[in-house]
Amino acid sequence: MWNTRLFQHIYIFYLFIFLLDVINLFWPNDSLYMTIGLLAMFMIAINFREADRVFKILGVLLLSAGCFFYFSSDVPIMKIPTFFAGNIGLLFLLSMLPWMNSVVKAGRYNQLLQTLLGGNVKRMGDLYVRGEATMVSLAAFLNLSSATISQDLLKKQLKKSKTSVRNRFIAMATLRGYSLALLWSPLEILLATSIFITNANYLEVLPWMLLIALLGFGFDSIIGKITFRNEMVKEVGTPSKLGKGSKKKLLEFIVALVLFLIVVVFLTNVLQFNFLFAVTIALFPFAFVWALLLKRRKSFFQIGLSNWKRQTNHLHNFIVLLLTLSFFTETLNASPYLRYLQDPLVALEGHQVFIMFFIQATFLIMTLLGVHPIATMGIFGGVSGLLLGMFPSVTLTILLASCAIATVPSAPYGLIVTLTSVSLKMNPYKIVWRNIPFSLMCGFIGILIAYCTLFLY
């Protein structure tokens, strides 16, 4: 009982830590950073029991490896707490994401999915293109809700189709479209983490990530159209023509997305904030102003406050993963064993293409083994100094982000795959099997674009 009551209000404690981290960002202080690290250790202790089994295993492995690396180093014991503080900013970003999702719901933009997905589409191949295009367009702000809403709508629209065909269609169109939207979305944690590691300029990275998303959409649309060319949509939906109100909402949505990108670019390029912090502090003010313009302030706070509390109260998995990952990365960098991790990369020095494929293979294999892409990215973050000596920061960001995000539809223990598995009553490994070719293709496109940027930076 006490444990339940504690976690109902734990968001206050987390917010206090996040604010301390913001203060330290503007006024760095060793004692304050030590305090943040000690509080981070306490966060791991109280959240470990609540975390999912996969994240517990990852946390134990990262802590064990971190302890091994620590004892091989000559770092004083008093410095240990600071090793846990590095990823507090990522947790702050995850905590703030519900505010953007809440204004989207308050403005009823999620209903656009129903309008865009519905229609007099007779061939499933044509519906595949429309469904994926809708996901790519709207998932940047709607995030996970875009996938769950679209899957429910497609289940109704295809209810007269053969179950195996319907499930394969939904598992491909929605998960692949969702991952394509993540490639360039400033709200995506994997993209934010890659920029955090490389310190690249988001404005320079954005056009290339959009190009990867566009190419991925183009190729996968052709694949989907061919795959389902002989399947007919037996359930006819609502008229496909967008009404005046829907067109206005779609235009509002696009304008809001562009304006948010402009705000983030302004904060990073003009005020010189780092990308992660810029996105985090822009979320609530931007969402609030948007809600005011829509005259939805009341519903925004009604939806947003409960969503924010719930999301922040249930950061168990990410707290265990990100904070133990911070400890692992810092101890690895202080350990003489770092060179053993660097050796394969040093051996490939001068062969950038092989290194790129090595990075892609590592992300995919680790994901299939149940390791979250953020954890894999943290490992590469541990050798970021070496990688940045081989690649420009923009190139490395494109490479890490595209290879990591490409694995999202193929992560057997990932949240989006798990939700889809429950929704379709489908084995998650069947979903993964359907999407591995896409992950490989998307990773190859990312490598190709990253390689091209080598000649520009």
The reply to whether 385 and 433 lie within a common domain is: yes
The reply to whether 268 and 216 lie within a common domain is: yes
In whole angstroms, what is the distance from residue 310 CA to residue 98 CA? Answer: 9
Residue 16 lies in a domain: no
> Which of these ranges, 95-99, 132-136, 304-308, has the smallest mean pLDDT?
132-136
- Residue 157 clears pLDDT 90, i.e. is over it: no
Across 64-87, b (16+ Cβ under 10 Å) vs e yields ebbeebbeebebeeeebbbbbbbb
Residue 58 lies in a domain: yes
Over residues 242-259, the pLDDT tens digits come to 566 667 777 888 888 889
Last residue in a domain, options 243, 273, 299: 299
What per-residue confidence (pLDDT) applies to 15? 94
In whole angstroms, what is the distance from residue 445 CA to residue 228 CA? Answer: 23
The reply to whether 328 and 265 lie within a common domain is: no
The reply to whether 329 and 281 lie within a common domain is: no
The reply to whether 149 and 224 lie within a common domain is: yes
In whole angstroms, what is the distance from residue 17 CA to residue 25 CA? Answer: 12
Helices (H), 296-408: 297-313, 316-334, 338-347, 352-368, 373-382, 384-390, 393-406
What is each CA distance from 327 to 28, 38, 161, 222, 457, in whole angstroms?
20, 12, 50, 44, 32
Please report, to the nearest 10 degrees, the dihedral formed by the alpha carbons of residues 215, 143, 97, 300 taken in order.
130
287, two tokens: 């969402």
CA 379 to chain centre: 17
CA 131 to chain centre: 20
In whole angstroms, what is the distance from residue 358 CA to residue 402 CA? Answer: 14
The reply to whether 330 and 387 lie within a common domain is: yes
The reply to whether 105 and 205 lie within a common domain is: yes
What per-residue confidence (pLDDT) applies to 4? 61
Last residue in a domain, options 248, 264, 299: 299
> Which of these ranges, 52-66, 108-122, 408-422, has the smallest mean pLDDT?
108-122
Any idea what DSSP says for residue 243?
A: P
The reply to whether 287 and 352 lie within a common domain is: no
In whole angstroms, what is the distance from residue 407 CA to residue 443 CA? Answer: 8
- Residue 119 clears pLDDT 70, i.e. is over it: no
| DSSP string covering 142-176 | HTHHHHHHHHHHHHHHTTTS-HHHHHHHHHHHHHH
Any idea what DSSP says for residue 77?
A: G
112, two tokens: 């656009």
Residue 308 lies in a domain: no
Q: For the chain, what's the residue count?
A: 457
Over residues 165-181, the pLDDT tens digits come to 899 999 999 999 999 99
User: Which residues span the domain enclosing 53?
Assistant: 45-83+314-453
Considering 111-115, 273-277, 285-289, the range whose residues carry the highest mean pLDDT is: 285-289
In whole angstroms, what is the distance from residue 176 CA to residue 409 CA? Answer: 6
Residue 159 lies in a domain: yes
- Greatest alpha-carbon pair distance for the chain in Å reads 69
Specify the pTM: 0.83
The reply to whether 422 and 273 lie within a common domain is: no
- Residue 239 clears pLDDT 50, i.e. is over it: no
**Angle between helix 202-227 and 393-406 (nearest 10):** 30
- Residue 196 clears pLDDT 80, i.e. is over it: yes
The amino acid present at 198, given as its one-letter code, is T
The reply to whether 341 and 235 lie within a common domain is: no
**Mean pLDDT computed over 143-154:** 77
Any idea what DSSP says for residue 336?
A: T
Q: Which residue is associated with the tokens 């169109």? A: 173
What per-residue confidence (pLDDT) applies to 120? 64
Any idea what DSSP says for residue 242?
A: P
What is each CA distance from 197 to 40, 105, 158, 394, 395, in whole angstroms?
20, 32, 43, 11, 12
- Residue 362 clears pLDDT 80, i.e. is over it: yes
Contact 23, 32 (CB under 8 A): yes
Q: How far apart are the first and last CA of the chain?
A: 57
Q: Beta-carbon neighbour count of residue 238 at 10 Å?
A: 12
Residue 332 lies in a domain: yes
Q: Which residue is associated with the tokens 């519906």? A: 127
**Mean pLDDT computed over 322-329:** 89
Residue 8 lies in a domain: no
Considering only residues 341 and 333, tell me which one the structure prediction assigns the higher pLDDT: 333
In whole angstroms, what is the distance from residue 438 CA to residue 264 CA? Answer: 30
Which residues contact residue 272 at a Cβ distance below 8 angstroms, ignoring those fewer than 6 apart? Answer: none
The amino acid present at 218, given as its one-letter code, is G
The reply to whether 318 and 230 lie within a common domain is: no
The reply to whether 204 and 352 lie within a common domain is: no
Contact 450, 395 (CB under 8 A): yes
Contact 349, 299 (CB under 8 A): no
Residue 392 lies in a domain: yes
What per-residue confidence (pLDDT) applies to 244? 64
Which residues contact residue 99 at a Cβ distance below 8 angstroms, ignoring those fewer than 6 apart? Answer: 283, 284, 287, 288, 304, 307, 308
Residue 217: pLDDT band with limits 50, 70, 90? very high
Last residue in a domain, options 299, 324, 340: 299
- Residue 350 clears pLDDT 80, i.e. is over it: no
Contact 170, 404 (CB under 8 A): no
Residue 31 lies in a domain: no
In whole angstroms, what is the distance from residue 204 CA to residue 185 CA? Answer: 14
Percent of the chain scoring above 70 in pLDDT: 92
Considering only residues 258 and 447, tell me which one the structure prediction assigns the higher pLDDT: 447
In whole angstroms, what is the distance from residue 445 CA to residue 1 CA? Answer: 51
Number of domains in the chain: 2
What per-residue confidence (pLDDT) applies to 413? 73
